[in-house]
Amino acid sequence: MENQQFSGRVGLVTGGTRGIGRAVVLELARRGCSVAFNYSKSADEAEKLKAEVEALGVKAFAAQCDVASTEASAEFVKAAASELGGLDYLVNNAGITRDQLILRMKEEDWDAVIDTNLKGAWNFSKAVLRPMMKNENGGSILNMASISGVVGMLGQSNYSASKAGMIGLTKSLAKEVASRNITVNALAPGMIETEMTAEMNADFREKILASIPLARFGSVQEIADAAFFLLTARYITGQVLQADGGLAM
């Protein structure tokens, strides 16, 4: 049933090979959308995921593409839209952390995080607008922010700034493209079980767990469910939805 509702639609997820991005790719495919996704290094994971998506009966397009490159992002979007027959949904998900207290943080760690997380979202948002504007039913853009961009986190001046920037981008773009029936929203996950959070030291993990009202980390599927909701909700735009178990109330 679900499959029929969204069949013929096309989604693009940046950083689709692992964690949250991978779960969003599979959720879109299960709902009947064809899916394009890119990655930085994980070529083997990309091949496997492409086969998994195709096994769900929809088309898939995957390629390496650094989201920090404006040129490569535009090329990827062009190729994906041409291969899959248009573009309805974009999820700006690719993201990295390079945590360090600001006094010890290197300039290259600031640049890498801002260029990947914030400029990457700007690159892909800019590139998808033309194909999305051609759609009779508009389109949706979802920026994968973080509660770190809402409340600020110690040791994450680069990451918090990039995610707060994505929230500003969300609201500005939502106003620019509303007349074209394109919605733009942000999702701000809290602590989710992925490779990104697996690197966390045990003491810090216990401490943060104690401050989550729902008393657990979230799953990637819970984030994919929230992402799908925001992508397909037609009367919600310019909003930030926190999916954090109550951590940042």
Residues identified as active-site: 159
Phi–psi pair at 199, nearest 5 degrees = -75, -10
96 binds ligand NAP (CB under 6 A): yes
94 binds ligand NAP (CB under 6 A): yes
For residue 163 the two structure tokens come to 């995610």
> Least Å distance between CB 30 and ligand NAP?
18
The CA distance from 91 to 186, in Å, is 9
Member of 95, 139, 165, 245 binding ligand NAP (CB under 6 A): 95
192 binds ligand NAP (CB under 6 A): yes
78 binds ligand NAP (CB under 6 A): no
> Least Å distance between CB 189 and ligand NAP?
4
123 binds ligand NAP (CB under 6 A): no
Helix (H) or strand (E) holding 39: strand 34-39
What lies within 8 Å, CB to CB, of 203 at 6+ separation is none
Member of 125, 140, 146, 160 binding ligand NAP (CB under 6 A): 146
- Using the minimum distance from each CB to ligand NAP, give the nearer residue, 5 or 28: 28
Q: How many residues does the chain have?
A: 249
The CA distance from 47 to 37, in Å, is 11
Phi–psi pair at 47, nearest 5 degrees = -60, -45
185 binds ligand NAP (CB under 6 A): no
Q: Are 241 and 186 in contact (CB under 8 A)?
A: yes
Member of 12, 53, 62, 68 binding ligand NAP (CB under 6 A): 68
* CA 53 to chain CA mean position, Å: 18
160 binds ligand NAP (CB under 6 A): no
183 binds ligand NAP (CB under 6 A): no
170 binds ligand NAP (CB under 6 A): no
The single-letter DSSP state of residue 217 is P
**Of 18-26, 28-36, 128-136, 200-208, which segment contacts ligand NAP by CB under 6 A?**
18-26
238: left (phi over 0), alpha (psi -120 to 50) or beta: left
Helix (H) or strand (E) holding 66: none
> Least Å distance between CB 7 and ligand NAP?
26
107 binds ligand NAP (CB under 6 A): no
The CA distance from 88 to 131, in Å, is 8
18 binds ligand NAP (CB under 6 A): yes
Binding site for ligand NAP (CB under 6 A): 14-21, 38-42, 66-68, 93-96, 116, 144, 146, 189, 191-192, 194-197
